[in-house]
Amino acid sequence: MSKPPSPPEARSHQELARLQRLMAEALFSPLNAGWGMRRKARDGRSMETVAASFIKPNDRLTSFERLEIYNRQYWFRLLDCLYDDYPGVRGILGERRFMKLAKAYLSRHPSRSYSLRDLGDRLEQFLREISQEPGWTGRHPELLLMARDMARFEWAQIVAFDAASAPAITPDDILNVPPSDLRFNLQPYLSLLSLDYAVDEFSTALRDDEALRSEASHAIDSQPGSNPQQSRRSLPKREKIRLAVHRCDNLIYFKRLEPEAFRILRSLQRGLSLEEACGKAIASSRRKNVDWAEEIRECFACWASLGWLTPATEPPCPARAASPAQAVRAVQADP
């Protein structure tokens, strides 16, 4: 049996760049239905021919088989990241449907960032896209709507974990400034979400279930049939909620907001003055007999204590890297 020819050497920067593009396209090629490397490249060539053009066989594996190891590792790593980052979406859709969704998402929206942190930044967009496509909704079209809200909620947690921060306001920033001229920025790590499903409650219940399951798996005297994994979890209920997702002391929190408080923060985020923001929120409120001055004062006291408000002219600074002990991604509801 003749020895297969060696792949040609890259003798220039241009040839090296072509080799890198060829290898990247092969490695990033989606897996087949059996979780293996596809036999055909995107240009129609045999993947065995493509692999042999830049990777040698050895005494145990062909060029194709060697390349397949890296192709599968790449995809398994990406799928594993989505699996970990979106437990709520997974809890709504179920394991099998979630993995189908993840593979389709990565095929249509491949990774474009050096950081795996950004892997799911277009998941909500993808869920919007497939909501109009046959074969995804089936008998439960509402599942995709729930999953879309949950994807927004879980992406906001990723933003809250490591987005930039800016110096919070001080009394000197607002002293003697009339409300008509007073403007604020919001912390870059703060996300304001208007959602149609109570995904916050579902997420909390999901974590509680996981904790119980972990505890039960270590219990010596666990009785048959008592495993919490066997219980059926209710899906998120349809409810209009407004959430602020943020961080404090390197932990992630979420807090429900009243409609008026949400509108004020939104207006400030869009550059309106304090006077304009409060006026719009009060004018659109359906509540009667409210001491708005006191309620707004309490809101601003809370937001200032949490560090959400920053001077409008202050540019954000990079987030300070947390130590491994601090960087525990605990997600909690604010009191």
The distance between the two most distant Cα atoms of the chain, rounded to a whole number of Å, is 92
Model confidence at 325: pLDDT above 80: no
Gap between the Cα atoms of 170 and 56, Å rounded: 64
- Tell me: domain 163-214+235-333, CATH 3.90.930.50, correct? yes
CB-CB neighbours of 148 under 10 Å: 24
pLDDT digits (tens, 9 = 90+) for 67-119: 999 999 999 999 999 999 999 999 999 999 999 999 999 999 999 899 999 99
Nearest one of 198, 124, 187, 188 to 155, comparing CA atoms: 124
Gap between the Cα atoms of 102 and 98, Å rounded: 6
pLDDT digits (tens, 9 = 90+) for 262-299: 999 999 999 999 999 999 999 999 998 989 999 999 99
Nearest one of 116, 21, 14, 42 to 74, comparing CA atoms: 116
pLDDT digits (tens, 9 = 90+) for 225-245: 434 443 456 899 999 999 999
Gap between the Cα atoms of 262 and 91, Å rounded: 28
* Coarse DSSP helix, strand, coil percentages of the chain, rounded to the nearest 5 percent: 50, 10, 40
Residue count (the chain): 335
- Confirm if 86 and 154 have CB atoms less than 8 A apart: yes
Model confidence at 257: pLDDT above 60: yes
pLDDT digits (tens, 9 = 90+) for 148-173: 999 999 999 999 999 999 999 998 88
- Confirm if 236 and 140 have CB atoms less than 8 A apart: no
Helix (H, G, I), strand (E, B) or coil at 221: coil
Model confidence at 31: pLDDT above 70: yes
Where, residue-wise, is CATH 3.90.930.50 in the chain?
163-214+235-333
Q: β-strand 251-256 against 331-333: which pairing, if any? A: parallel
Looking at residue 218, its amino acid is: H
